[in-house]
Amino acid sequence: MAVDRDRLRVDIKENAQFGAVESDSGCGRSVLTGSDADQRARKRFITRLEDAGLEPRVDPVGNIAGRWIPDGVSADTAPIALGSHLDSVPRGGIFDGPLGVYAALEAVRAIQESAETPSRPLEVVSFTEEEGSRFGVGTLGSLVAVGEISVEEALSMTNDDGDTFEECLERIGFAGSSEIDPATWDAWLEVHIEQDTELESAEIPIGVVDSISGITNCTAAVAGESNHAGATSMVDRRDALSAASEFVVDVERIAKEVTNDHPTAVATVGRQDVEPNVRNIVPGRVRMEMDVRSVNGDAIDTIVERSADRFERLEHERPVETDFERNRDMPPIELSDRCVDAIELTAERLDVESTTMHSGAVHDTGNVAAKTDAAMLFVPSRDGISHSPHEWTDWDDCAISARILAATALELT
């Protein structure tokens, strides 16, 4: 069974034309849900499904699936589903999402062209609005598919222009009425770029993802007092930025300490807004947003609790008030041993080196995993760059992932 590296490359390159952006790399794209670029990317995907004999269907939130039922297989046998997403962040890359969709299609084509006959239907899937760039909720399409968010709630969401999700889908002709339900799948596999440098550094082409980090978001606000930077002596000032800066350094130190026991743990103060943010005024207020992740829920709790304690202690050390809120918790997700084992076995059999790893980023697979056996395959990202026109994965690595995907799908049937 052989995948066609060039057919996969052409699929990804042609898909990259939709929403293409100017960049020195020559291959960035902006494919926001409901845009013309999104419509064109979806239409081409439908055509490519049909070209391969997969009958496409579209659900009410624009998720697309195409199913191939091999000869002799009953139509009501639970399928093995493979896929990812076609949308991007603004000025994103051409691999994040489309690689997983078109590697899935290539895997099915490779199986169709081989001597092998799977014992289950194969389904190629593209979920809507994975990036959350247009309606503010990441993995929106798969959240609806697994029933975490109702169709009605999703369709009434509005974007920055005031348009509802429903209006956007109707405009591009992708408000369907079919059902795409992960609970009816026998298993799910998603190929995705790693978005970090572990595979590249180790020169390993395949990462077998056995867990997805949980995420906790917090906000930390400091209130001091805005004052004249010249007229206010050092002892009289209530500088909110100095206090906030201690917190940023503390969070980093605490997270690094926790990685001794929990190497997947990370904590980031990614956003910091200073008021009034003028050179010659002592900062009066700072608001920070913090993101904490780990595949181990206890590690997240430890980082959040120690950071909150340290933050609160600033009130005793400085003339400021602090306010810490733990806003949102997404628990860590263990993926399916059955799927992980199948990928590892397949890679070994095909003599492709692989390594087990976690995903620090959120993926549709995290939602699907609540409903059926699921796992992911990571491929190397050059310099770990993603969400950028500089995102890149070698075509050979793309082809390897499609080959492992195809063989694993067969292994699972």
Could you tell me which stretch among 41-49, 61-69, 76-84, 192-200 binds a copy of itself (CB under 8 A)? Answer: 192-200
Query: Where do the DSSP E strands lie in 73-113?
Result: 80-85
Which CB sits closer to a copy of itself, 177 or 260? Answer: 260
**Which of residues 113, 153, 236, 298 is near a copy of itself by CB under 8 A?**
236
Does 194 participate in binding a copy of itself (rule CB under 8 A)? yes
Structure tokens that stand for 35 in this block:
């845009």
Counting Cβ atoms within 10 Å, is residue 391 exposed (0-12), middle (13-18) or buried (19+)? Answer: buried
How many other CB atoms are found less than 10 A from the CB of residue 367?
26
The closest of 190, 185, 178 to 98, measured between CA atoms, is 190
Judged by CB under 8 A, the residue of 362, 369, 376, 410 near a copy of itself is 362
Stretch that binds a copy of itself, among 10-18, 70-78, 140-148, 268-276 (CB under 8 A): 268-276
Q: Segment contacting a copy of itself (CB under 8 A): 34-42, 71-79, 267-275, 367-375?
A: 267-275
Judged by CB under 8 A, does residue 241 bind a copy of itself? yes
- Looking up tokens 């598919």 gives 145
Q: What share of the chain is helix, strand, coil (3-state, %, to 5)?
A: 35, 25, 40
- Nearer of residues 109 and 293 to a copy of itself, judged by Cβ: 293
Name residues contacting a copy of itself, limited to 204-223 (CB under 8 A): 213, 215, 217
The correct pick among 122, 144, 255, 377 for binding a copy of itself (CB under 8 A) is 255
Does 313 bind a copy of itself (CB under 8 A)? Our answer is: no
> Residue 82 is encoded by which pair of tokens?
């493979």
Point out which span in 4-12, 77-85, 163-171, 257-265 binds a copy of itself (CB under 8 A).
Answer: 257-265
Is residue 137 a contact residue for a copy of itself (CB under 8 A)?
A: no
Any contact of residue 291 with a copy of itself (CB under 8 A)?
yes
| Inter-axis angle of helices 395-412 and 98-113, nearest 10 | 60
User: Which residue lies nearer to a copy of itself by CB, 290 or 404?
Assistant: 290
* Nearest to 364, CA basis, from 78, 6, 101: 101
What are the residues whose beta carbons fall under 8 Å from the beta carbon of 406, sequence distance 6 or more?
1, 3, 106, 107, 108, 110, 111
Q: Is 147 left (phi over 0), alpha (psi -120 to 50) or beta?
A: left
Selected binder of a copy of itself within 235, 316, 317, 351 (CB under 8 A): 235
Is there binding between residue 279 and a copy of itself (CB under 8 A)? yes
Q: Which is nearer to a copy of itself, 177 or 233 (CB)?
A: 233
State the distance between the two ends of the chain, measured CA to CA, in whole angstroms: 16
**Interface pattern 387-406 for a copy of itself (x via CB under 8 A):** x-------------------
Pairing label, strands 373-379, 281-282: unpaired
What residues make contact with a copy of itself under the rule CB under 8 A? 194-198, 213, 215, 217, 227-237, 239, 241-242, 244-249, 252, 255-256, 259, 263-274, 277-283, 289-291, 293, 359-362, 384-387
